[in-house]
């Protein structure tokens, strides 16, 4: 698997300065970049079984 970058700014999570909003529910609670390059909150990651990009 290659390096996963933010779909909006094409930077890895550590240097991504996009507003941290879940793409599904717009929550700001524990939002992280996932393997598809989009940002998801903890609840949506759990519900949809998305994996964090960098752990």
In the bound complex, what is the minimum distance in angstroms from residue 6's beta carbon to Zn ion? 3
- Cα(19)–Cα(1) distance, integer angstroms: 25
Instruction: Give the Cα separation of 20 and 40 in Å (integer).
Output: 9
Binding site for Zn ion (CB under 5 A): 6, 8-9, 16, 18, 22, 24-25, 27, 41, 44
- Cβ at position 1, least distance to Zn ion in Å: 19
Match 């949809």 to its residue by tokens. 48
**Shorter beta-carbon distance to Zn ion: residue 23 or 55:** 23
Distance of CA 28 to the CA centre of its chain: 11
Shortest Å distance, C-beta 41 to Zn ion: 4
């Amino acid at each position: 698997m290659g390096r996963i970058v933010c779909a909006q700014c094409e930077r890895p999570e550590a240097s991504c300065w996009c507003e941290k909003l879940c793409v599904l529910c717009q929550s700001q609670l524990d939002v992280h970049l996932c393997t598809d390059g989009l940002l998801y909150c903890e609840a949506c990651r759990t519900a949809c079984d998305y994996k964090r990009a960098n752990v």
